[in-house]
């Protein structure tokens, strides 16, 4: 009876250990959305902009930017303009911080929507990011800033 208890304890330890290791290795979609939110908040810098833009690949998935009622679309035709346009648009915030006030993340299969209320040196901004999964990667499809 005592031996059986020891064997059960060893088996339970192995199962729990395997579960902990699996959880540490596997990155869930929710964790990826948290990584995305981290990339678009904090101190605005060139490296931070590059980190946020790593979620955009207009050659694979066209992206639409909507700001103050104006729409700008990027696809494989004008993909090279996205980075300089983003840097130019964010130049006024360079060196300042973007503070997260509120977040909402919804995941549905291959689609995700991240809605953020942000405080910047210019005031409050409501931003919605629509993402789609392409293989193992999440890519921006639309960004709306109000």
Digit-coded pLDDT (tens) for 128-145? 999 999 988 999 999 988
Distance CA 39, CA 116 (A): 13
pLDDT, tens digit, 9 for 90 and up, residues 44-95: 888 888 888 899 999 999 999 888 788 999 999 999 998 888 877 777 677 7
Domain ranges of the chain: 27-145
Burial zone of 52 (CB within 10 Å; 0-12 exposed, 13-18 middle, 19+ buried): buried
**In the CATH scheme, what is the code of domain 27-145?**
3.10.450.50
Tokens 């999440």 belong to 138
Q: In the numeric block, which tokens belong to residue 58?
A: 């207009």
pTM score of the predicted model = 0.78
């Amino acid at each position: 009876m005592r031996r059986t208890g020891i064997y059960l304890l060893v088996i339970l330890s192995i199962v729990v250990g395997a579960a902990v290791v699996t959880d540490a290795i596997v990155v869930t979609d929710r964790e990826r959305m948290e990584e995305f939110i981290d990339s678009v908040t904090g101190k605005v810098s060139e490296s931070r902009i590059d980190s946020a833009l790593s979620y955009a690949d207009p050659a694979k998935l066209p992206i639409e930017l909507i700001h103050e009622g104006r729409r700008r679309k990027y696809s494989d035709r004008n993909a090279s303009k996205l980075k300089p346009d983003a840097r130019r648009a964010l130049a006024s915030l360079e060196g300042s911080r973007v503070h997260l006030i509120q977040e909402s993340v919804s995941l549905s299969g291959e689609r995700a929507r991240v809605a953020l209320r942000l405080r910047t040196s210019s005031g409050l901004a409501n931003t919605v990011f629509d993402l789609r999964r392409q293989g193992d990667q999440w890519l921006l499809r639309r960004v709306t800033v109000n």
